Structure 1
Amino acid sequence: MTIKLLAIGKTDNKDLQALIDDYQKRLGFYIKFEFEIIPDLKKVKNLSEEQQKQKEGELILNKLNATDVLILMDENGKQLDSVGFSSYLQKHMNSGIKRLVFLIGGPYGFSPDVYQKANGKLSLSKMTFSHQMIRLFMIEQLYRGFTILRNEPYHHR
């Protein structure tokens, strides 16, 4: 199985990007991992929030395969602790799917078409974080999940 993290917009903080790169490298020891950025939309000043979500949704849906299992990182999604998340990952690995895609949307969330395509929603917290921070948190939690599944000490450091 491959895990893909898909996000809208680049990370412009070099320190944050260095941490993302570090955890992405670590994660590669456990599973095939892909991280793809969909560039920010251009000329959004004339677009409503709904129009932006619709255009981002089209870009997102073009990046997905028909067999992908799509999980939205959404403030209204289910919250899991790290051990629960590791079990969530194991369940998906056991199901025989080819690719599990976690999606971090743009500033206004997801279009109705993306919600319709989704197989589930997860939330990292009731708090609001920047979309750039969520990338780091998500990759770190993926890494943590695999160290839990392998019974490695990282989780309790």
Structure 2
Amino acid sequence: MKITVVCVGKIKEKYLTAGIDEYSKRLSRYCRLEILQVADEKTPDRASEALEAQIRTVEGERILKCLRDDSYVIALAIDGDMPDSVALSQKLEKLGVQGCSHITFIIGGSLGLSDAVLKRADEKLSFSSLTFPHQLMRMILLEQIYRSFRIMNHEPYHK
């Protein structure tokens, strides 16, 4: 199975880079992982709703260019389904059994995802009703994908 993570912006914090690298390495025994970064747009303080929508649109166009037609797309969105780790693992396993060999997760920028990206997604996933920095979300997502593969393979993993 191939897992692609499409995300907005670069990681600047060393501790996040180290965590992302660690989970990427761990995942290499279960899947082919690809992380694609698209450029983020600068958002001025007190930006109008119209400007924020324009920024989401520009970032969304960059994201859409990274998506393949044959990939099952899961967008991270605060209003998405909120499964527990076992349910997420079962979802990924079910997709694999159904012949889906490529799953793409999308993490938006600080303003979220454009309507066009959300419409392209096959599913929306939420990790919490809390808001997390999108850079941190990348590491959290990789950890949960790793946990999913451990659960699928009946391997021990702390609860």
TM-score by length of 1: 0.93
Q: 1:146 aligns with which of 141, 149, 152?
A: 149
Task: State the match for 1:25 in structure 2.
Answer: 25
RMSD: 1.5
Matches within 5 A, 1:7-18: 7-18=7-18
Cα offset, 1:110, TM superposition: 1.5
> Is 2:56 the partner of 1:53?
yes
Question: 1:5 touches 1:35 (CA, 8 Å); kept in 2?
Answer: yes
Task: State the match for 1:38 in structure 2.
Answer: 38
Specify the SS of the correspondent of 2:60. Answer: helix
Task: State the match for 2:100 in structure 1.
Answer: 97
Take 1:44 and 1:125, find their aligned partners in 2: how far apart are those partners? 24
Deviations 1:108-157 (A, max 9, x none): 1111211111100000111111111111110000000000111111234x
> Is 2:74 the partner of 1:68?
no
Take 1:30 and 1:114, find their aligned partners in 2: how far apart are those partners? 27
**Number of aligned pairs?**
155
Deviations 1:24-73 (A, max 9, x none): 100010111111111223x6559800110111111011111111211110
Moved over 3 A (4+): 43-47
Take 2:77 and 2:114, find their aligned partners in 1: how far apart are those partners? 12
Alpha carbons of structure 1 residues 151 and 98: separation in structure 2 relative to 1, 3 Å = closer
Question: 2:20 touches 2:139 (CA, 8 Å); kept in 1?
Answer: yes
Residue type of the alignment partner of 1:147: R
Matches within 5 A, 1:102-121: 102-121=105-124
Task: State the match for 1:4 in structure 2.
Answer: 4
TM-score by length of 2: 0.92
Q: Gapped runs of 5+ residues in structure 1?
A: none
